[in-house]
Amino acid sequence: MNHRAKNNSLATVTATELIEQDVQSSPELVGHAAKLCLFDELEPWQQDNHYLISGYVRLTGSVRGCVASLAYLHNESVNIYSHLLPGLSTLWYVHHYVATKLEIYPTYFGWERFNLMMFAMAATTCFAMSASFHTMKSHSHDVYRSCNQLDYFGIVVMICVSLISIVLFAFHDHQGWVLVFTATFVALASVCTVVTLDPQFRSPKYRPFRSMMFSVFGLSGIFPIVVSIQVYGYTEAIARTHAWWLLAEGGLYLGGAAIYALRLPERWGCHSHRQGTFDYFGHSHQIFHVMVVIAAYCHWRSLLGAYSYLHENLVTGVTA
């Protein structure tokens, strides 16, 4: 602990000196640098990752101050824009794709567009909640807590709609399974929403239960794959869901979560003379955000593949 404390104080000195040097060499930076602070200056409830030592936005106490932080560089900038830009573009892109580029087969049912748009809205909700949280977390403790809950709620919406969207394509000719899985996912999403938003689950003693519920919810996506293999056989099941894209999606979510939990690579930077190397660019939460965006793209490809497979191989004999 002494060694770590010594490292932290060294890191603090280094970062303070760097900021002072920047301010002295560039007077125009004074305004923005004054809005930033070090890890040790944060309120206890703000202190989350001690490997990131500088670049924190000081408590603003106002929405205007938080929104203004979009205009200068700090250690949440990449976290914000990595989800703000996809949040702003996903709905537009999917709507544009569905309206102009989506192949409409003679066997087109009508609900497929709605299914693709539901996924786009869920992804947009998830990205928007995340970008809002990272923008508003410097407002105050209450706003931090509320936005953090909404960030988790966005994840619940994303998981739930993603799972249902693929089941609708894969089991389109077995509506019983569609109902079973949809009911299961909605029930799990409801439990996760309650443990996220209900204040009585806020205490640390419920944290393991909350983590477990989110893990169970995410991993429940394996069941449709297993059931589809039993019902349709391995080859058919893989083709119906375009499972390789789903596998890549799952790997990205799990890999991103692991990097986030392990605090890599900033953990390595802290033990060398390069303290603070990843404060602004390249730290674990940013990597996690980017992997989530790529995972969402993988899901989109899986949905497109499942849609095409449905009409090119399964319902080709049906006339419109």
For 248, 287, 298, the CA distances from 254, given in Å and listed in that order, are 10, 12, 14
Q: Which residue's C-beta sits nearest to Zn ion?
A: 130
Q: Which two tokens stand for residue 305?
A: 């593949």
Nearer to Zn ion, 12 or 130 (CB): 130
Shortest separation between residue 288's beta carbon and Zn ion, angstroms: 7
Q: Which two tokens stand for residue 48?
A: 């989350």
Nearer to Zn ion, 229 or 254 (CB): 254
Nearer to Zn ion, 137 or 242 (CB): 137
Nearer to Zn ion, 49 or 277 (CB): 49
* Phi, psi dihedrals of residue 105, rounded to the nearest 5°: -80, 160
H or E segment and range at residue 71? none
Q: Which two tokens stand for residue 78?
A: 């990449």
Nearer to Zn ion, 60 or 130 (CB): 130
Measured in whole angstroms, the distance separating CA 33 from the mean position of its chain's CA atoms is: 29
Residues 205-224, interacting with Zn ion (CB under 5 A): none
Q: Strand pairing partners for 36?
A: 57
Shortest separation between residue 55's beta carbon and Zn ion, angstroms: 16
Measured in whole angstroms, the distance separating CA 236 from the mean position of its chain's CA atoms is: 31
Query: CA 60 to CA 83: how far, in whole Å?
Result: 22
Query: CA 21 to CA 4: how far, in whole Å?
Result: 25
H or E segment and range at residue 207? helix 207-219
Query: CA 130 to CA 140: how far, in whole Å?
Result: 17
Quick note: the x/- pattern for Zn ion over 116-135, rule CB under 5 A, is --------------x-----
Shortest separation between residue 319's beta carbon and Zn ion, angstroms: 48
Query: CA 121 to CA 126: how far, in whole Å?
Result: 9
Shortest separation between residue 90's beta carbon and Zn ion, angstroms: 16
Shortest separation between residue 133's beta carbon and Zn ion, angstroms: 7
Query: CA 1 to CA 288: how far, in whole Å?
Result: 28
Shortest separation between residue 227's beta carbon and Zn ion, angstroms: 32
How many chain residues bind Zn ion (CB under 5 A)? 1
Nearer to Zn ion, 170 or 296 (CB): 296
Residues 82-101, interacting with Zn ion (CB under 5 A): none
Nearer to Zn ion, 80 or 195 (CB): 80
Q: Which two tokens stand for residue 252?
A: 């990205």
Shortest separation between residue 197's beta carbon and Zn ion, angstroms: 18
Binding site for Zn ion (CB under 5 A): 130
